[in-house]
Structure 1
Amino acid sequence: MESLNEIIDYIIENQSINTGYNVYTNIKERTELLFVSPKQGRIVPEIKLYTDMYREVFYKYWRIIYRIENDLVKILLIIDARMDFEELLYEKLIKL
């Protein structure tokens, strides 16, 4: 699970500054749309049997997972959609 800064740093290091800037700008624009229409994202399918409070939207292959709290959107994590989300979640829970 990565922060936006970690993602952008990785892209800049492995691709280019322009690509990093474009990804950053597009992810920020995608998240800003959530503040206008917070329920636009789907419920995260891997955990929908347990809770419907976590939603997600995508930018290319990035999953932007968020929660709505008192009509406010809280971005929780941004992960590569090609990764095994259930495995990442399991690893995080084991560390608690």
Structure 2
Amino acid sequence: MNSQQEYIKEYQGILARGDISCPQRDEHARKKDQRGRLKALLLERLRDYQGDVFRFMVSDIAVPFTNNQGDNYIRMTEVQQKISGCFRSIQGAEMFCLI
């Protein structure tokens, strides 16, 4: 068994132990006056989005763990828009982007 399969097997074992200690909620077990959707527990999200969890760890190691770099690329533009509201012309926006 390769390391990727070992990680997946261990992850699924952790989720199984989580199911034992925290059983799934019954959708009908809500208070009488409670409306809307029940909040998803972390365990449910980890199970539902297992592919996303492993995307950066096992399947494609080129995918970064966070999007911090993308946030850094647009930060100054967002700050400028927050302060002045908008660019007054396309030329001003282009000059800002050159800087």
> TM-score category by the smaller chain?
under 0.3
Name whichever structure is richer in strand by fraction. 1
Higher RCO (Cα < 8 Å, 6 or more apart): 1
Name whichever structure is richer in helix by fraction. 2
Normalising by structure 2, we get a TM-score of 0.27
If you compute each CA radius of gyration, which structure gives the higher value, 1 or 2? 2
